[in-house]
A and B are shown apart, each in its own frame.
Chain A
Amino acid sequence: MSKIWLVIKREYLSRVRKKTFILSTILTPLLFVGLIVVVTVISVKNVDKERIAVIDESGNFRGHLENSKAVTFDFPTGVDSTNYAAKGYSAILYTPAENAKKYRLISKKQMGMIAESNVEKTINRALEDNLLKQTYNIDVRQLDSIRKNAAKADIDQAIKDKGSQVQKGNSGLAYGIGYASAFLIYITLFIYGTMVMRGVMEEKTNRIAEVIVSSVKPFQLMMGKILGIGAVGLTQFLIWIVLIIGLTSAAGAIFSRETLQQAQEASQQMQTGGAAMGSNAATQFNQIRDTLGSANWLLIIGCFLFYFVFGYLFYAALFAAVGSAVNEDPQDAQSLLLPIMMPIVISIVIMINAITNPAGALATWSSLIPFCSPIVMMARIPFGVPGTVPYWQLILSMLLLVGGFLVTTWLSAKIYRVGILMYGKKVTWKEMWKWTFRKN
């Protein structure tokens, strides 16, 4: 046992001390939070004001064109296409008397896409209001209040479980958390799985494996490596979580609620623009602060750690087996990796389907099978335990995953023991399968 501990310690320390580890661990959350902050600042500060002079031939628009943060409309006199720039307007808009004619917007510079779509929308809305009033005699203000009232109806789900305890549900948040944690597990399976594989390959090609297996059992070497790298992954995650929480609360303190709301408004005005992405993040940031309370965090984080650890262990052993079978040529690894990568990739496809119907048959079954349960189950859990995921499913899924981990590790250890000392030959899956049934 103490030998496994030595191996774990070496694997852990040799990775944690690397510059690349330190950099990526600290920089990733900094980048993540920094990006949100920068985009928020830009979207608040950097909205270009466009003043547009309107030559209203029809007379329908006065008082109907709404000014927004990005665009103001004026109805000056004595302005025409020759002198609008001198009078401080960035563009001049001609509205034709007949609807059939085209509207003309003249400006010296190409107007930004956002401003242009803004102008178009405003004109459309003004026209619409006008037509409504003329045709049906509906007051625009009445219509607005109707629209507002309708928009207020946010669906507040109340989920009743057997104990008639009412839990507040928020499917949007559950969707977000489920998606994020499933993807995190997906990415970590790949990152740390291939890290295990590379480590094994390094030991094999350096020929240190033979020196070490004359001191420790191959199984100890393999498990030590898997556990050591798993610990590296956990460390990285914990640092990320702490840093992200710390930085976002720091950022939240710097940006007052008003700034964030401003950013939100800005994003609503520019929804067609590319910059909307960034301030969407700011919007969500604000919303998440409001709704975080409704999720069962303890359960989600607990389950996340469980599925992260055991999903990793389940696959890491397989990655180790592949690493042991590969020779110097990394090309060989590609073809051997395929059967391992497939279930992971398929899981993510299943997850994307399952998350829209978290209690459906596909979601239920695939969250029990160890090959995809770490990803699919993590997408379901935020929707509620035991509401969407009954306890028996959760427990069965966990037991199956632990069992699966024992099986893959046992199989891999057999492949590993033969493979790590086998040189020069290209190994196929068929041969590896044979190794698992050799007597010693």
Chain B
Amino acid sequence: MHLLELKNLQKFYATQKAVDDISFSVEQGSIFGLLGPNGAGKTTLLRMITGIFYPDRGDILFNNKKFDPLNDILYIGYMPEERGLYKKMKIGEQALYLAQLKGLSRSDAMTKIKYWFQRMGMESWWNKKVEDLSKGMSQKLQFVITVLHEPKLIILDEPFSGLDPVNANLIKDEIFNLARNGSTIIFSTHRMEQVEEICDHIVLVNQGKKILDGTVQNIKQEFKENTFNIKLSQIPAEINSPAFEVIRQDSNNLTVKIHAGHRSNDVLQYFLQQSTIEGFNEILPSLNEIFIHLVEGTRATRQFQAVEA
């Protein structure tokens, strides 16, 4: 079941096609990665999903109904890339205020805040002010505030920036936990190793257009170049096969690229007769490589352009 569906979404600014005809859907309970280089239109896209902006054209379906910002935003938790909290306000009161703005009753909000503060080891923070917190601490607080009202859809824009590995892991575990409990998470970043680790499904946008859409596994399969790593006890003096070619040799390790029309078994068969095979595995491209491959060549920074809407 799709929790969120975007259909031909468009948003033009005076000098830019920020989002130009993007469609995708997000599965209920999945962790969805929204990727793209700086200025690709991610933030605009997220702001439309959170009801801050209205699309110029296209539809958003939330829970299979037309997205109604006024009511549906209560089921969305949004953590923007630029963290924002009232610096002079006490942390407990601030959490309470923001939770109440999301429609929770005061007592409800209190219980949930207590639960989360305890869970994240923040009980002693209640009467502190945000300006007393370190960057990592306020990040944690922001995360708690985002998920406090148990939203169906949680949107996290670069949730790990500025966090040390311990706290990053803590947040990561919470994200998995939330997804297990049925929340859907949209995760926007350009840190590919995190995406690979966390996301089920990704969409890559560049210059306002969607250029990639699929599960992490499928995308890797799609972009693999049929290269394999093979570890041998002894490298034969001469390797010559119509099935593959060696593209790199590193002591006992060979990296081979299998030619079209041949299978990995052909490689194994070739070496079986000559040497002992100690290891054999396929080399899949990392998302990072795919990302760079796809985005490279386009201009690194977006140019301003005239828009005829």
Contact = CB atoms under 8 A, between A and B. Distances in A.
A112 B43 CA distance: 75
B97 A208 contact: no
Contacts of A7: 101
B83 interface: yes
Contact of B84 (A3, A14, A211, A215): A211
A10 B97 contact: yes
Interface string A1-27: 001001100100010000000000000
Interface in A162-219: 202-203, 206-217
A202 B84 CA distance: 10
Interface string B68-111: 00100110101110111111110000000110111000000000
A211 B88 CA distance: 16
Contact of B85 (A208, A216, A217): A208
Contacts of A82: none
B285 interface: no
A110 interface: no
A216 B82 CA distance: 18
B102 A210 contact: no
Interface in B141-162: 142, 145
A440 B11 CA distance: 11
A421 interface: yes
A323 to B, nearest CB: 15
A211 B100 contact: no
B98 A215 contact: yes
Task: Please give me the 10 A-B residue pairs with the lowest Cβ-Cβ distance, nearest first.
Answer: A207-B84, A208-B84, A215-B101, A207-B82, A214-B78, A214-B50, A210-B80, A440-B54, A211-B84, A206-B84
B47 interface: yes
B85 A3 contact: no
B73 A206 contact: no
Contacts of B74: 215
Given A421-B47, A440-B54, A211 B89 contact: no
A440 B69 CA distance: 13
Majority secondary structure, A binding face? helix
A45 B77 CA distance: 70
Contacts of A216: 101
Nearest to B80: A210
Contact of B100 (A6, A203, A206, A214): A6
Contacts of B54: 440
Nearest to A205: B84
Interface string A259-285: 000000000000000000000000000
B75 to A, nearest CB: 11
B51 interface: yes
Contact of B87 (A206, A210, A215, A440): A206
19 contacts: A7-B101, A10-B97, A14-B88, A206-B86, A207-B84, A208-B84, A210-B52, A210-B78, A210-B84, A211-B78, A211-B145, A214-B50, A214-B52, A214-B73, A214-B80, A215-B74, A215-B101, A215-B102, A217-B70
A207 B80 CA distance: 9
